[in-house]
Amino acid sequence: FEDSNEDIVTRAWDLSKRILIYCLDHEIDSDIETPVRNHIKFPGIPKIVKPADYLKRKNKVLINKRKRDFDESFLEQSSNKAAKVPVKVRVQEDEHARKFAVKSSSEQFVDKPEKKKPKVKDTSASSSRPANEQEKYLATSPSSTMGNLPQSSFPRVDSETEKRVIALVEKEGSSLTLKDISSRCLVPSTHVYAGRQTDKIVATGKLERSVQAVGAALKALGNGGNVNEAKAVCEPQVLKQLTKWHTRLRVYISPFIYGSRYSSFGRHFTKVDKLVEIVDKLHWYVEPGDTIVDFCCGANDFSRLMKEKLDEVDKKCHFKNYDLIQPQNSFCFERRDWMTVQPDELPGGRQLIMGLNPPFGVKAALANKFIDKALSFKPKLVILIVPKETKR
């Protein structure tokens, strides 16, 4: 349960009513304090076939099938009446056109196979066929129609149409700017920090050169060099600049530095037992007809517990729950950004109770933003779970 001096890493935790233990067969990564993820095996994954091999086999099957169909059709035609010949030819042509389209798409990967003449057994039926009918059949066979098939499924574009398209693209491209596109992309209120562009804070090229300079200085010191030699490859100003960049980027790199503290989506839901305590204290202030708004409902447990308590004391109220991610409990839920809700969509302030647990953000910046939005509706009561930086 605790680290020791004998190279034993914590791999068990007492979670009140249960104990979580990582399997002893897997090593613990000391940096992120979780097992090394190299042991997961996924069964039943089919072998990936390379496109060239796949097309080559497919083309071979099509060629053999086409040859077999041609032989059978020719033998059958030789035993039937001459009146049935055009029907069989049309069927064979349609089938060949479909196969040829598949074959033409694979020619860039597979060499074109040599055409082989169909081998037909010498039967009495075929030998009795008139020579002029056999010549007519061979003249209309699939091999004679291959030259008439289209080489591409795309329509041909004349030069005039191509010029008009190019002119249209240039005209629209000149009038479209990155600022216009950015103005149309609305970032959710909970993603304000992710919406900032890191390339405007730190230039990637400068950062890479600074890191390389520090690496060279460390290598020089490791090889027995003195401080002056290290300063020659990495000036002190470079270290000061890296410190400034670290301060500016700490919001972005925190998940990598403190990976074990971060959960999925960075979402932390209030425990149900705490919500029960809040409901027990809050229901005394609620009057029939009030609207209880949870502007960041998370798992949406608060409104459910509140309704159960109010039903016990015979108080009929309304509920509104907002969030960006759909919860499993969809009671009175609306998937929406809280910052887009307008005053005319909710009742007056005398019938409004708002809460509960907004996202905090760096130095409670997001929490303050959510609170300011809630106060714009002038509710009669606001109940919050927030850090001390929101005190006002």
Is residue 368 included in any domain, yes or no?
yes
Q: For 117-147, what is the HEC assignment?
A: CCCCCCCHHHHCCCHHHHHHHHHCCHHHHHH
Q: Would you place residue 7 in the very low, low, confident or very high pLDDT band (cuts 50, 70, 90)?
A: low
Q: How many structural domains comprise the chain?
A: 2
Sign of CA dihedral 24, 29, 34, 40: negative
pTM strictly above 0.85 = no
Is residue 43 included in any domain, yes or no?
no
Domain match, 251 and 272 both: no
**How many Å apart are CA 291 and CA 318, to the nearest integer?**
5
Closest CA to 51 of 112, 105, 97, 101: 105
Q: What is the pLDDT of the chain when averaged over all its residues?
A: 75
User: Over the stretch 139-191, which tens digit does the pLDDT of each residue have?
Assistant: 454 444 444 555 556 677 888 888 899 988 888 887 888 777 777 776 666 66
Residue 10 tokens, joined: 């914590």
User: Over the stretch 318-367, which tens digit does the pLDDT of each residue have?
Assistant: 999 999 889 989 999 999 999 999 999 999 999 999 999 998 887 888 89
Domain match, 221 and 276 both: no
Q: Which of 2-11, 67-76, 131-140 has the lowest mean pLDDT?
A: 131-140
Among candidate residues 221, 237, 258, the one where a domain is terminated: 258
pLDDT at residue 47, as a whole number? 61
pLDDT winner (highest mean) among 68-82, 134-148, 300-314: 300-314
Q: Which of 17-31, 81-95, 240-254 has the lowest mean pLDDT?
A: 81-95
Domain match, 184 and 286 both: no
User: Over the stretch 23-78, which tens digit does the pLDDT of each residue have?
Assistant: 877 777 777 777 777 666 777 766 655 555 555 555 665 666 666 665 566 556 55
Examine the pLDDT at 9 and tell me if it is beyond 70.
Answer: yes
Q: Which of 101-105, 181-185, 261-265 has the lowest mean pLDDT?
A: 101-105
Among candidate residues 258, 289, 317, the one where a domain is terminated: 258
pLDDT at residue 256, as a whole number? 72
Contact by Cβ (8 Å): 367, 256 = no
Rg from Cα positions in the chain: 37
% of the chain with per-residue pLDDT over 90: 28
Residue length, the chain? 392
Is residue 280 included in any domain, yes or no?
yes
pLDDT at residue 85, as a whole number? 45
Domain match, 246 and 337 both: no
pLDDT at residue 290, as a whole number? 96
Domain match, 285 and 184 both: no
Contacts from 83-86 at CB under 8 Å and sequence distance 24+?
85/133, 85/136, 85/137, 86/140
pLDDT at residue 95, as a whole number? 53
Among candidate residues 258, 292, 308, the one where a domain is terminated: 258
Domain match, 294 and 195 both: no
Q: Would you place residue 1 in the very low, low, confident or very high pLDDT band (cuts 50, 70, 90)?
A: confident
Domain match, 251 and 296 both: no
Beta bridge pairs of residue 18: 15
What one-character DSSP code corresponds to residue 371?
Answer: H
CATH number for 284: 3.40.50.150
Stretch 276-300: mean pLDDT, rounded? 95
Domain match, 337 and 298 both: yes
Examine the pLDDT at 195 and tell me if it is beyond 60.
Answer: no
Which residues contact residue 134 at a Cβ distance below 8 angstroms, ignoring those fewer than 6 apart? Answer: none
Structural domain harbouring 312: 268-382
Is residue 351 included in any domain, yes or no?
yes
Is residue 93 included in any domain, yes or no?
no
Cis peptide before 221 (omega within 30 of 0): no
Alpha carbon of residue 117 to chain centroid: 52
Domain match, 280 and 378 both: yes
Domain match, 279 and 374 both: yes
Closest CA to 74 of 126, 146, 117: 126
